[in-house]
Structure 1
């Protein structure tokens, strides 16, 4: 039995440039469940899989040694999604695509496929970092070559901070102080 799952997600994030902390402000999901047998269960499955995906794309690091063995120190260093990780506004709409003879009671899986929709959070983080870097470039803090970057998975706080964090804020403050000193001296910027 083969069938395709369809879904789309859009996420909006906010990044703290000083710490690299990412807050998911809003996520909107549309997901095709075929003919849902129990919309409440499907809704929970979609939300749960999405939150698991947030863990994969933002939090869960798998440090390994040279032999490929995981060397995490257990649950103290292995971060999973928490209440603070879930989008502040989380909208899910279930589409019912109707009857299909090759699916069990015309239903579709709703447990695992929505995990991939959390890529929308990773894309939103990348867009926010890109905007922060563009803003810094406009202040004169970076050259054009700094605008290209690669955001790894997971996009953890230290990774995000490194890409648009404290050193960039320090450059901005230096630029701002220099600009104010120039204005007070009678020059223009």
Structure 2
């Protein structure tokens, strides 16, 4: 919804006001302060959702800055003729003395087609499966994601990483068992497993791809907070591939037909118990019988 909203809004304000081209404009970012929106500071606002909040807010800020720059331009040109150079603080002081309106408001509502675009991304994951316990460890993940023209690559990078880790919880960990009444029986992290520090892979490489300008997207940016969650399916697929290899090996040990090794459904989430069962080693005794039989 509003990933890095305040940071991006500050950047948009600093950039928009810097177009007046005064000395010290490069320091405007430190002068911008964002306050919490309420009905006192903002009577009317747009909707939040679909990962469009940051983009829409930045566009509204940009439009307001354009209004202020237009009001200040004539005064700035006059002062430059008199003084030769002009600092931002001096311009604002003189504008205040001249009773120039230094406030602006804009209601920006994105067109319905602005969110009708495709998010492109790809992920490759390498996992290691403990066949005796069913524990799955992600060794490495490489992601490339199209953020359009990113408003803040550092913020979007964190959103991509966070969404991906949350997706691992969905595909691999977060099971919600229910009783006969349909009520969820998991009442804490002892039975409901969420991603932790251990979930983050040992090698995690993320690259942001900045695509070109698009007139229907807000500031040509693309959502980065929600879509990358689906890239975590690469961990689920890699786990399934590891299970297939384990089933083939077990079939060769026992003399069974290997052709059925790939015929199974790996549930979501693929918890430790599920992975252990699908691997075929549902007990240590069974594993020992197979290993002893190969000697």
1:160 alignment partner, one of 266, 270, 275: 275
Once residues 151 and 100 of structure 1 are traced to their aligned partners in structure 2, the CA distance between those partners, rounded to angstroms, is 39
Once residues 183 and 283 of structure 2 are traced to their aligned partners in structure 1, the CA distance between those partners, rounded to angstroms, is 36
What's the counterpart of residue 146 of structure 2? 32
- 8 Å CA contact retained: 2:248, 2:258: no
Higher relative contact order (CA 8 A, sep 6+): 1
**What is the DSSP-based 3-state SS (H/G/I as helix, E as strand, rest coil) of the residue aligned with 2:269?**
coil
Query: 125-134 vs 137-146, which deviates more?
Result: 137-146
- How far does the alpha carbon of each residue in 1:128-166 deviate from its partner, in whole angstroms, 9 at most, with x for none? 000000111122254447522110000001111111154
**What is the DSSP-based 3-state SS (H/G/I as helix, E as strand, rest coil) of the residue aligned with 1:75?**
coil
- How far does the alpha carbon of each residue in 1:31-80 deviate from its partner, in whole angstroms, 9 at most, with x for none? 00000111000000000000000000010011123443322223331110
- 8 Å CA contact retained: 2:247, 2:280: no
Within 5 Å, which residues of 2 pair with 1:1-189? 1=114, 2-140=116-254, 142-144=256-258, 146-147=260-261, 148-164=263-279, 166-167=281-282, 170-171=285-286, 173-180=288-295
Count of aligned positions = 180
- Indicate how the Cα distance of structure 1 residues 141 and 14 shifts in structure 2: closer, same or farther if over 3 A, else same: farther
* 5+ residue gaps, structure 1: 181-189
What's the counterpart of residue 184 of structure 1? none
Give the structure with higher Rg (CA): 2
Report the structure, 1 or 2, having the larger strand content. 1
What is the alpha-carbon root mean square deviation over aligned residues? 1.9
TM-score normalised by structure 1 residue count: 0.87
TM-score normalised by structure 2 residue count: 0.57
* 5+ residue gaps, structure 2: 1-113
Query: 115-124 vs 58-67, which deviates more?
Result: 58-67
- 8 Å CA contact retained: 1:18, 1:165: no
